[in-house]
């Protein structure tokens, strides 16, 4: 065969095999990035000798060079496959970062931090980690879509994602460099479960027991647990793939309570972007509200602001202060407390409510603008505020006002005694907000009066709103149950609200959630009382209500729990986060629709 014809044949063969070559390159990059992340975690989690440090430095150089070579190959294949130019620019930037990482591995530039040279060189570590994370997340997003094509039960996949995340978090917290003096496996499991379930109950002091690496792990677990690992991976899939199949959207529609299947991926993207935007704004406000007198070092203040912003928005209740927000430097910082209150309320109100309010405000502003600019006589205001939003807003406002007033009245001569006039109001407001699954405390919880403790049990049990980062039975469940009782008492067979008929299925589900919550809380209280008979019943009940509603408040008995009680609390936090009704509905097989109906017969109730 003549040489030109041979070259043409090879070119055509390469053209046909390009999709397979790109797929193989993606597979190699995925496993290579996965292995690199494991080595990086080993590097961060274990102490090394100077010789091992040097070997790791050169390993990273060679590893990044191999990664850069594979990226160049993939870039060449993608360029000929007609990929958008923006994507190619990102790939070129990534290759540039990888090349810079290779240069720094062999010709490092020493950066100084707090007057000391860092362990190895920070710029090399950061560049390599950035390249690794980008490649790994890109390839993981492609593979995450495959889960939705499988015939798995979506509910069980949702529950399994939390189990896997808790397991990974436990392993990371057991690494030697994650803690200052080591940690027991059960305590690591408890901390990981509490972070993933955004609860805030702790058996070891977060401030002193964990290093910076350990606190970063806890922060990541809180963020992923608050958003949901499936929501986050779906966002990555949308961000990197720029497309999603109908089956994927159908799978995720129920996960985020989206009515329109066409808006599923857009809603997931909005959830993630709003989360990061609010947390960033909250971190800036927290940083502005504290100064060197509270936290002397600049980088410590930045870390404090980010950690507490994420923890507050996700309603997690974790704090890097040993005494929580009751710390002497923060219990009287009312500006800081108001920022935390705002983050808790935004995170607990629910993303569906935020989106609904945004659409209403946008439509209203547009109508007012047309009325002003075009001199229209009437401004059209569409009916965008749905019944769900009205129930959530009214119930949340009623609970907030009631909680604040009751706290102010019951604790005026107790925990509010050390505050001034304005300070009493802010502290009472904080006390009315925090039991709604937040878990922060600005007072000594052990000094609360017994009537307020009972009020806290009710507020913790109700919790936040559906589609939020908070727990509890949810405000809509409580509101529907109360309204249905009132409707039945008036002799009505249907529940009607704001000119709308509420389906019987919603009411039945609300009562099912209530009954299951009492069963879980009652069983957990019984088991903890069995494992720790020396504890008083009110303290145990407070702990179980707090665990099930993922609140994180405690009357000071968490450290005294035995191993059996800790396992009970872990299971209670998990059931409260994923939802007992959700778990049962995922396990029990669905009944087929029946085309017949048996004769009815009344059951004596009263």
pLDDT of residue 90: 61
By mean pLDDT, which of 27-41, 105-119, 198-212, 242-256 is the weakest? 105-119
CA 249 to chain centre: 21
Arithmetic mean of pLDDT, 345-360: 88
The residues pairing with 495 across neighbouring beta strands, listed in sequence order, are 502
Q: Which phi and psi (to 5°) does residue 478 adopt?
A: -65, -45
Residue 433's CB: how many other CB atoms inside 10 A?
24
- Sign, CA dihedral 292-295-300-305, equals negative
Rg of the chain in Å (alpha carbons): 27
Whether the Cβ atoms of residue 169 and residue 210 lie closer than 8 Å to each other: no
Q: Which phi and psi (to 5°) does residue 495 adopt?
A: -95, 120
pLDDT of residue 535: 93
Sequence-separated (6 or more) residues with CB below 8 Å from residue 455: 403, 406, 407, 410
Q: What is the pLDDT of residues 534-592, one digit of tens each?
A: 999 999 999 999 999 999 899 989 989 999 999 999 999 999 988 888 778 767 766 66
Does pLDDT of 315 surpass 80?
yes
Arithmetic mean of pLDDT, 307-320: 93
Does pLDDT of 6 surpass 50?
no
pLDDT of residue 148: 55
pLDDT of residue 100: 63
By mean pLDDT, which of 181-185, 424-428, 480-484, 585-589 is the weakest? 585-589
Residue 189's CB: how many other CB atoms inside 10 A?
22
pTM above 0.75, yes or no: yes
Instruction: Give me the chain's average pLDDT, please.
Output: 80
What does the domain layout of the chain look like in residue ranges? 12-150, 370-587
Q: What is the pLDDT of residues 472-505, one digit of tens each?
A: 899 999 999 999 998 888 888 788 888 888 888 8
Does pLDDT of 374 surpass 80?
no
């Amino acid at each position: 065969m003549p040489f030109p014809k041979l070259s043409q044949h090879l070119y055509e063969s390469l053209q046909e095999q390009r999709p397979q070559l790109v797929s193989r390159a993606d597979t190699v990059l995925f496993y290579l990035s996965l292995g690199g992340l494991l080595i990086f975690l080993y590097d961060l989690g274990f102490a090394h000798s100077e010789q091992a440090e040097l070997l790791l430095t050169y390993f990273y150089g060679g590893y990044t060079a191999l990664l850069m070579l594979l990226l160049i190959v993939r870039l060449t294949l993608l360029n000929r496959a007609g990929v958008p130019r923006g994507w190619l620019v990102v790939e070129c930037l990534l290759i540039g970062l990888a090349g810079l990482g290779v240069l720094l591995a062999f010709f490092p530039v020493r950066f100084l931090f707090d007057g000391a040279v860092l362990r190895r060189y920070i710029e090399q570590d950061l560049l390599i980690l950035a390249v690794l994370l980008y490649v790994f997340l890109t390839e993981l997003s492609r593979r995450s879509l495959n889960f939705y094509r499988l015939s798995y039960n979506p509910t069980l996949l949702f529950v399994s994602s939390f189990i896997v995340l808790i397991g990974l978090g436990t392993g990371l917290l057991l690494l030697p460099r994650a803690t200052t003096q080591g940690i027991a496996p059960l305590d690591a499991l408890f901390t990981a479960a509490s972070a993933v379930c955004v609860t805030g109950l702790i058996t070891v002091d977060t401030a002193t027991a964990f290093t910076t690496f350990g606190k970063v792990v806890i922060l990541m677990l809180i963020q992923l647990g608050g958003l949901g690992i499936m929501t986050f991976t779906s966002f990555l899939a949308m961000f990197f793939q720029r497309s999603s199949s109908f089956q994927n959207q159908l799978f995720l529609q129920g996960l985020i309570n989206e009515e329109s299947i066409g808006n599923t991926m857009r809603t997931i993207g909005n959830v993630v972007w709003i989360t990061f935007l609010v947390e960033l704004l909250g971190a800036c406000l927290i940083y502005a509200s504290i100064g060197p007198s509270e936290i002397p070092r600049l980088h410590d203040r930045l870390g404090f602001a980010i950690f507490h912003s994420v923890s507050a928005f996700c309603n997690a209740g974790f704090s890097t202060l040993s005494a929580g927000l009751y710390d002497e430097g923060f219990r009287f910082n009312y500006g800081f407390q108001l920022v935390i209150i705002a983050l808790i309320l935004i995170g607990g109100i629910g993303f569906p409510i935020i989106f609904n309010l945004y659409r209403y405000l946008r439509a209203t502003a547009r109508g007012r603008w047309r009325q002003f600019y075009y001199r229209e006589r009437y401004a059209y205001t569409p009916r965008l505020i749905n019944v769900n939003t009205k129930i959530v807003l009214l119930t949340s406002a009623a609970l907030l006002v009631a909680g604040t007033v009751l706290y102010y009245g019951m604790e005026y001569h107790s925990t509010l005694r050390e505050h001034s006039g304005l300070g009493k109001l802010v502290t009472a407001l904080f006390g009315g907000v925090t039991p709604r699954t937040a878990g922060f405390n600005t007072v000594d919880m052990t000094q609360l009066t017994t009537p307020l403790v009972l009020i806290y049990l009710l507020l913790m049990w109700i919790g936040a709103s559906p589609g939020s980062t908070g727990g509890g039975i949810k405000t809509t469940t409580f509101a529907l149950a109360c309204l249905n009782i009132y409707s039945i008492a008036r002799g009505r067979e249907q529940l009607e609200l704001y000119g709308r008929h509420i389906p019987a299925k919603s009411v039945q589900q609300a009562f099912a959630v209530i009954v299951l919550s009492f069963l879980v809380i009652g069983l957990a209280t019984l088991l903890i009382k069995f494992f720790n008979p020396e504890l008083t019943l009110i303290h145990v009940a407070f702990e179980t209500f707090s665990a099930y509603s993922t609140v994180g408040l405690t009357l000071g008995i968490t450290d005294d729990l035995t191993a059996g009680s800790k396992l009970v609390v872990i299971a209670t936090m998990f059931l409260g986060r994923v939802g007992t009704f959700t778990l049962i509905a995922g396990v029990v097989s669905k009944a087929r629709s029946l085309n017949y109906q048996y004769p009815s017969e009344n059951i004596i109730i009263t």
